[in-house]
Amino acid sequence: MQNREQWGSKLGFILAASGSAVGIGNIWKFPHMAGQNGGAAFTLVYLLCILVVGLTIVVAELAIGRSTQLSPVGAFEKLAPKTNWKWVGFLGVASAFVILSFYGVVGGWILKYIFVSLTGGFDSLSNDPEAAKSLFVTFTGSTWSPILFQVLFMALCVYVIVNGVKDGIESWSKIMMPIIIILLVVLAVRGLTLEGGIDGLKFLFLPRFEDLNASAIVLALGHSFFTLSLGMGTMITYGSYLNREQNLLNSALWVLALDTAIAMLAGVAIFTTVFALGADPAGGAGLIFFILPSVFPQLAYGSIWGTLFFSLLFMAALTSAISILEVVTAYFIDQKGWSRKKATIQFGVVITIVGVFCSLSLGGGVNITGYFGGTFHHFFGETFFDVMDNLSSKYMLPIGGMFTAIFILMKWTVPSFINEIGQTIIGKEKDASLVSVLCGTAAIVVGFIILNEIIAKVTGNAIIG
């Protein structure tokens, strides 16, 4: 225990934690959600969710990790010995398996698209989103090619994690995060200087309150959670490599700021380009894989822009994926006494195998949840890929986050939590009430989202949305 690894510097930690937060969620999900749900109106709601619910749970997770110097299972066990709270930790480890299985598949797709763009493969898709779509569907639905790239992506994750906290996670994040920001700025400037690019800014940032409905608010809340990597102990694990000198609140604010800024920058880069070239901004989830590959070749040096874009997306995905794998690795190191290398390789392989089934469910011929299609239509009628995606982001993560907030309130107690934060926020007496209100709000709001989701699943009609 004395030899627990530590981050090398405050900056290193902030870049690693924001590397976890900044991922496919920021660059792919946020722009199209904001674009479709009222532009700045959505962004305002999203910012509110991040500041109230997100910040509270980020600080809570970091504090739990730093105080115990343990990953989730051990952390809950240490703060609440001989209780069932450790199951919140186990839920986190289980979520890591579920998320990384499909996240690794998407990481593989991104890797493949770097090569496609680099070798001029987008050229024939110029101004033809249908052709881009069919390239994507054919590729992801085939058997071997996506698996090959997924395995490559997962091997890179394993490589980074085997090298440890400081020499693996931190040093890679310190290289990749600045590159991500620089590339995004370059792409945003390119977009803004295209004729008509400014219209993309209007689409993204002018508030359209008529497009902001209740389901958009639920969406903003759910996303504020996913984008900050909350609810499965990622931040507990990263917090456990911190020492007492670090200012938790300040670090958490940095992570929030970077995560949000990068999501906005991605929105600017994507929509200015899409508008300038007259492509369909409502491309939704297909925006990245169908629309952009048909847009880039219309620019001068298109294959370079495409390659830069998919490279930065790849780096964002990698720094997130390693944070998910680290939760599993840290569990086997802390609780089972395994070596880092053994834990990472062994479970990297297991997760990759689960991921292969996600990939194969998209057309490769094996959809293990498809067999239940008739019986449990609502859940198991989906592809195995979608089941893993929905199971984690709609249920497991919110449940983990809700229990983290409840844990602070009911078990660890607000004074111990404030003591771990180690600083006054608005005044010694008022802090306890403020923190209680924030944790209470987070628990209730997240609890409501879960309930809403379950009711929608069971009855087919959500309370909201």
Binding site for ligand TRP (CB under 6 A): 20-21, 23-26, 99, 226-227, 229, 231-232, 234, 320, 323-324, 397
Q: Report how far residue 158's alpha carbon sits from residue 345's, in angstroms, rounded to the nearest whole number.
A: 6
Minimum CB–partner distance for residue 229 and ligand TRP (Å): 3
Q: Which is nearer to ligand TRP, 117 or 320 (CB)?
A: 320
Q: Report how far residue 14's alpha carbon sits from residue 10's, in angstroms, rounded to the nearest whole number.
A: 6
Minimum CB–partner distance for residue 317 and ligand TRP (Å): 7
Minimum CB–partner distance for residue 213 and ligand TRP (Å): 24
Q: Report how far residue 269's alpha carbon sits from residue 201's, in angstroms, rounded to the nearest whole number.
A: 9
Minimum CB–partner distance for residue 29 and ligand TRP (Å): 7
Minimum CB–partner distance for residue 245 and ligand TRP (Å): 26
Tokens of 400: 């983990």
Among residues 149, 272, 304, the alpha carbon closest in space to that of 204 is found at 272
Minimum CB–partner distance for residue 342 and ligand TRP (Å): 23
**Burial of 366 per CB tally in 10 Å (0-12, 13-18, 19+):** middle
Tokens of 32: 């199209």
Query: Residue type at 233?
Result: G
Minimum CB–partner distance for residue 181 and ligand TRP (Å): 15
- Torsion (CA) 129, 130, 134, 135 in degrees, nearest 10: -30
Q: Report how far residue 201's alpha carbon sits from residue 210's, in angstroms, rounded to the nearest whole number.
A: 18
Q: Which is nearer to ligand TRP, 233 or 297 (CB)?
A: 233
Tokens of 351: 């997760």
Q: Which is nearer to ligand TRP, 99 or 176 (CB)?
A: 99
Q: Which is nearer to ligand TRP, 275 or 331 (CB)?
A: 331
Q: Report how far residue 465's alpha carbon sits from residue 458's, in angstroms, rounded to the nearest whole number.
A: 14
Contact between residue 23 and residue 157 where contact means Cβ atoms under 8 Å apart: no
Tokens of 464: 């909201």
Minimum CB–partner distance for residue 323 and ligand TRP (Å): 5
Q: Report how far residue 395's alpha carbon sits from residue 177's, in angstroms, rounded to the nearest whole number.
A: 29
Contacts of 391 by beta carbon, 8 Å cutoff, 6+ apart = 98
Specify which residues 207 forms β-bridges with.
39
DSSP-based three-state secondary structure for 208: coil
Q: Which is nearer to ligand TRP, 96 or 212 (CB)?
A: 96
**Burial of 372 per CB tally in 10 Å (0-12, 13-18, 19+):** middle
Residue 430 C-alpha from the chain's centroid: 33
DSSP-based three-state secondary structure for 277: coil
Residue 286 DSSP label: G
Q: Which is nearer to ligand TRP, 21 or 184 (CB)?
A: 21
Minimum CB–partner distance for residue 16 and ligand TRP (Å): 12
Q: Which is nearer to ligand TRP, 275 or 347 (CB)?
A: 347
Minimum CB–partner distance for residue 318 and ligand TRP (Å): 11
Q: Which is nearer to ligand TRP, 280 or 386 (CB)?
A: 386
Q: Which is nearer to ligand TRP, 24 or 60 (CB)?
A: 24
Q: Which is nearer to ligand TRP, 72 or 191 (CB)?
A: 72
Q: Report how far residue 404's alpha carbon sits from residue 433's, in angstroms, rounded to the nearest whole number.
A: 18
Among residues 111, 315, 281, the alpha carbon closest in space to that of 196 is found at 281
Minimum CB–partner distance for residue 99 and ligand TRP (Å): 6
Q: Is the Cα torsion angle 324, 104, 12, 222 positive or negative in sign? A: negative
Minimum CB–partner distance for residue 87 and ligand TRP (Å): 17
Contact between residue 327 and residue 237 where contact means Cβ atoms under 8 Å apart: yes
Q: Which is nearer to ligand TRP, 388 or 397 (CB)?
A: 397
